[in-house]
Structure 1
């Protein structure tokens, strides 16, 4: 007969996040109950509530963890071809979105008005914008133009991805092409963005 190892608080929290992530990915947000998460983790609901006071808090922690992993998996090295890295970064995000469709839709639809969830989303978009801006090589007034253009582009990509997940009216390759084409257009009038645009044209 074996004894179950007692988990540390950090280990327990990771276990609960993993269990919750699996359920939110598999089911729509409203279909996931806290007791389902507790059962999946093999603990009592009382213990689950000691870590997360409600379902929204659990979901927020799961989404925060996911965005951190996505950012870690999509670094941009200004010394390497920026367009190739951006294209690969889009695919990393698309992979996550496709595997966690219900989670992404919940964050962008059911919980679109939740300030905690939207702060997580906005912080990720801000970090992605800053990385692309730093890698673009533009400065001065052109940097301000590029920053505004990148902000608009990232919001466009977000909306497009949600439409892709929700309705499937276009394919993943078409989604990728639309995102890349929109960025080419957004930066097309920004002075100093020639390097990026040249890379993009070379990969058409």
Structure 2
């Protein structure tokens, strides 16, 4: 008869195991509902041993948030190959994969959870947003963004975040629709700014330059072109001198 022997883990290996276990639990339930005892049981160790590696639940929670933030940030990475719209749609697919798999953890990360107001949690959230911002600019092929583009992309990152949080509350809209809508939202925000700024007009032209008609951005242009006559027919012409 063979008796199984539990392998002794090194310090860093054990820390990473605890972080992974905590992240799994925080992803399934609100961090407030997860106890150190549960984490210890799931990890197969004693409660005092958890405290040997982390001084308290808060530090373990922040370590789990750090791993979640790093993983979420990578979801915006995509090789700059092929049409822009298809790339952005794949990014949104991976983003919502994370949101779907780590609902409570995602909410805790973005809303702060038990760490709300802490400088550590806020810094991690800012790092995710900055990574998303830089990746979107990379997809657009722009190193030095005009002021309006910087504003648009940062606004869109916030929009993607709030859309995902609202979607988690009931999942009443199909995921695929929201993923496509967010791609369209980015293009629409850029298009609105293009009406006021020549640099943004050039950005929009670049976004559409290699976009096929059956791609996400191509389909948006087709839909807007089709609906424009109907909308214009219902909108009264502005009176002279009524403003720009």
Normalising by the smaller structure, the TM-score range is 0.7 to 0.9
Distance across 2 between alignment mates of 1:137 and 1:99:
31
Corresponding residue for residue 18 of structure 1: 20
1:191 pairs with 2:230: no
Q: Note the C-alpha offset of 1:114.
A: 3.2
Corresponding residue for residue 176 of structure 2: 173
What pairs with 1:9-158 in structure 2 (closer than 5 Å)?
9-109=11-111, 110=113, 111-138=115-142, 143-158=146-161
Secondary structure, counterpart of 1:192 in structure 2: helix
Distance across 1 between alignment mates of 2:172 and 2:16:
36
Q: Which runs of 5+ in 1 are unaligned?
A: none
- Contact kept, 8 Å, 1:101 with 1:165, in 2: the verdict is yes
Q: Which runs of 5+ in 2 are unaligned?
A: 195-199, 221-244
- Contact kept, 8 Å, 1:105 with 1:166, in 2: the verdict is no
> RMSD in angstroms over aligned alpha carbons?
2.2
Give the greater-gyration-radius structure (CA).
2
Query: What TM-score do you get using the length of structure 1 for normalisation?
Result: 0.87
Moved more, 85-94 or 65-74: 65-74
Q: Note the C-alpha offset of 1:145.
A: 2.0
Moved more, 6-15 or 110-119: 110-119
Q: Are residues 113 and 171 of structure 1, via their aligned partners in 2, closer, same or farther at CA, if it must alter by over 3 Å?
A: farther
Q: Note the C-alpha offset of 1:112.
A: 4.2
Distance across 2 between alignment mates of 1:12 and 1:152:
39
Distance across 1 between alignment mates of 2:84 and 2:78:
7
Q: Are residues 24 and 73 of structure 1, via their aligned partners in 2, closer, same or farther at CA, if it must alter by over 3 Å?
A: same
Query: What TM-score do you get using the length of structure 2 for normalisation?
Result: 0.74
